[in-house]
Amino acid sequence: MSSPKRTKIEQEDVLDLTLRPRTWDDYIGQDKIKQNVRIIIDAAKQRNEPSVEHILFYGNPGLGKTTLARLVAEEIGVDFRVTSGPAIERAGDLAAILTNLSDGSVLFIDECHRLNRTVEEYLYPALEDFKLNLILGKGPMARTMELKVPRFTLIGATTRLAAVSGPLRSRFGAIFGLNFYDTNDIVKILARSARLLNVAISHEALDVLAKSSRYTPRVANHLLKRVRDFAQVQSQEGITAEITRYALDNLEIDPLGLGSNDRRILEALIDKFNGGPAGIQALAAATAEEEETILDVYEPYLMRLGFIARTPRGRIATRLGFEHLNKKTPRGAIL
């Protein structure tokens, strides 16, 4: 009898778990953040404090916010519980999560800019004094009940620091922004992942992949898996630069890592708005994309490449952006 087959999604999950760094040494890059976070933990340990200050990580998707939070919990030696802003719909959901924590646990709230404001109000006393003030009943019969919750450390993550409410932001003892990785670090991450996936890969292939990885570990690992599929189907022993280029070409990913959607955004800005300036709403409508996706996924990388820039009047395509799409650059376009 063969073992039950895993679905594609479950296989991906298993792979992601396999590739996730398990120790600080495995976690490549973001050196300043690692150093500062470890000081916070060591200092709290030296003072014998039962929990560490609440920490907020912000940065683009796929840069390793969850992984960092997991490492913090591991370093302190406590439980790691995961939830997300939109998953906590009502105060009751929050109460269920908090009362089920153990002492010292790390509670990770992803997308914490999407917590609803009522839930946030309940969260504040829990963050400050480890208590919840629940309201039982309605109208004149309503009573408040104070409920103690275990001491815990909140680690929040967000792709949009500016969208986290002021009161919530001020409850974090430390706030760290994750940056895009440099290409050398992406090469190291890819080399480690290839080792874990047990697949040989040439130096040149690592280089080609790294340049298409949007300076983002999650993208790098996904591309590595896709390229491995191509190599396997073509019965190649390992991953060469040639098969990597062939795979990226088939996936419509260009040598700088732009996919068809990124190009569509840049193209719309150039063709439909004459290079801009265009507001985010107009750009979203013209490309049938969600504003949020443009803000979180496409725009940061296009800006990192210097293909678009933000001005007070909206986004504009730069000379580099025009050139990348082989469009005639208008006079006066900025570099």
Stretch that binds ligand ADE, among 19-27, 70-78, 99-107, 148-156 (CB under 6 A): 19-27
Q: 204, 188, 189, 327: which is closest to 268 by C-alpha?
A: 327
Active site residue 65: yes
Cα torsion angle, 157, 160, 161, 166, sign: negative
CA atoms within 13 A on the CB side of 85: 20
Letters for 220-249 (x = contact with ligand ADE by CB under 6 A, - = none) are ------------------------------
Stretch that binds ligand ADE, among 23-31, 34-42, 150-158, 321-329 (CB under 6 A): 23-31
DSSP strands (E only) in 50-152: 55-58, 80-84, 106-110, 131-136, 143-148
> Which residue's CB is nearer to ligand ADE, number 31 or number 290?
31
Q: CB of 195: closest distance to ligand ADE in angstroms? A: 12
CA angle 102–85–80, rounded 5-degree value: 30
Alpha-helix runs per DSSP H in 157-297: 166-169, 183-196, 203-211, 217-233, 241-250, 260-271, 280-287, 291-293
Residue with tokens 């001005």: 311
Radius of gyration of the chain (CA): 23
> Which residue's CB is nearer to ligand ADE, number 27 or number 172?
27
> Which residue's CB is nearer to ligand ADE, number 187 or number 333?
187
Q: Which of 51, 67, 159, 318 binds ligand ADE (CB under 6 A)?
A: 67
Please tell me whether residue 208 binds ligand ADE under the rule CB under 6 A: no
> Which residue's CB is nearer to ligand ADE, number 91 or number 219?
219
Pick out residues in 176-205 that bind ligand ADE (CB under 6 A). Answer: 189
Q: Which of 21, 61, 279, 306 binds ligand ADE (CB under 6 A)?
A: 21
How far apart, in Å, are the Cα atoms of 281 and each of 120, 183, 265, 286, 318? 28, 33, 13, 9, 20
Interacting residues toward ligand ADE by CB under 6 A: 21, 26-29, 64, 67, 189, 217
Catalytic residues: 65-66, 110, 159, 218
